[in-house]
């Protein structure tokens, strides 16, 4: 019998597009299939439950919060066959090599992340992961202005679009972010 071929599946899109919800759906199916699943999330993502990945709709799955990508290898159990990694854009650049290594060892790696930051620019490690993935699903949300499909994440500060020079990483949810279509996404530069 030949060894199982690993894979990297990326689930990306704007905030509120259902990335984590889709990963949880796939993880639950793996559990039903009696596969050993482990999930990791960045420790800075403290929006909901500390030791769970949680969708905005309230679905959740057990996860280990970690500081950097090397913590995945340290905490990986020998019988794990499916690895979930939530919010990959928040990890250090080493996450790419960790994900590739897991897949090369025959594991199925499910990764979620924002493909673009609030400015509409590629976010962190995501462009590299997208180019190396075996499967990519780009999900869309609903524009909070017009109701059309949304592919962008709008950061709001006191109800107004965040300025281009604002920090790229600020963890938050609906209190400071909205999904927007290309036409309604605003990033003032002056």
pLDDT tens, 31-56? 999 999 999 999 887 666 667 777 77
pLDDT average, residue stretch 95-109: 97
The SS3 call for residue 143 is: coil
Contacts of 119 by beta carbon, 8 Å cutoff, 6+ apart:
164, 168, 187
- Specify burial of residue 183 (Cβ count, 10 A radius: 0-12, 13-18, 19+): exposed
Determine the straight-line distance between the first and last CA of the chain, rounded to whole angstroms. Answer: 62
pLDDT average, residue stretch 136-142: 98
Closest CA to 114 of 37, 168, 58, 52: 168
Q: With 90 as the cut, is the pLDDT of residue 58 above it?
A: no
Q: With 90 as the cut, is the pLDDT of residue 7 above it?
A: yes
Cα 1 to Cα 73: distance, rounded to the nearest angstrom: 26
Which comes out higher in pLDDT, residue 64 or 171? 64
**Predicted pLDDT at 48:** 63
- The answer to whether 41 and 65 have CB atoms below 8 angstroms apart is yes
**Is position 87 annotated as part of the catalytic site?**
yes
Q: What is the DSSP letter of 163?
A: P
The neighbour count for residue 168, using CB atoms within 10 Å, is 13
pLDDT average, residue stretch 117-142: 96
Token pair of 117 as six digits: 């930051």
pLDDT average, residue stretch 123-147: 97
* Domains by residue range for the chain, with CATH: 7-139 (3.40.50.300)
Which comes out higher in pLDDT, residue 83 or 159? 83
The whole-angstrom distance between residue 177's C-alpha and the CA centroid of its chain comes to 16
Q: With 70 as the cut, is the pLDDT of residue 169 above it?
A: yes
**Predicted pLDDT at 172:** 59
Kindly state the percentage of the chain with pLDDT values over 70.
93
Contacts of 186 by beta carbon, 8 Å cutoff, 6+ apart:
154, 161, 180
Indicate which residue of 51, 87, 148, 186 is catalytic. 87
Cα 181 to Cα 14: distance, rounded to the nearest angstrom: 10
pLDDT average, residue stretch 135-145: 98
């Amino acid at each position: 019998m030949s060894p199982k071929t690993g894979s990297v599946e990326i689930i990306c899109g704007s905030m509120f597009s259902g990335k984590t919800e889709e990963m949880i759906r796939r993880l639950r199916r793996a559990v039903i299939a009696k596969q050993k699943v482990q999930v990791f999330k960045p420790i800075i993502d403290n929006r909901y439950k500390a030791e769970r990945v949680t969708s905005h709709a309230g679905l959740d799955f057990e996860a280990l919060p970690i500081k950097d990508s090397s913590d995945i290898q340290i905490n990986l159990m020998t019988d794990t066959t499916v690895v979930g990694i939530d919010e990959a854009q928040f990890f250090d650049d080493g996450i790419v090599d960790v994900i590739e290594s897991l897949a090369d060892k025959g594991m199925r790696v499910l990764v979620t992340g924002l493909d673009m930051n609030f400015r509409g620019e590629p976010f962190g490690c995501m462009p590299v992961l997208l180019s190396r993935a075996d499967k990519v699903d780009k999900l869309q949300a609903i524009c909070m202005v017009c109701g059309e499909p949304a592919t962008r994440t709008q950061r709001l500060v006191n109800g107004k679009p965040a300025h281009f020079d604002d920090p790229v990483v600020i963890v938050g949810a609906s209190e400071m972010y909205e999904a927007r279509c290309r036409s309604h996404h605003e990033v003032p530069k002056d």
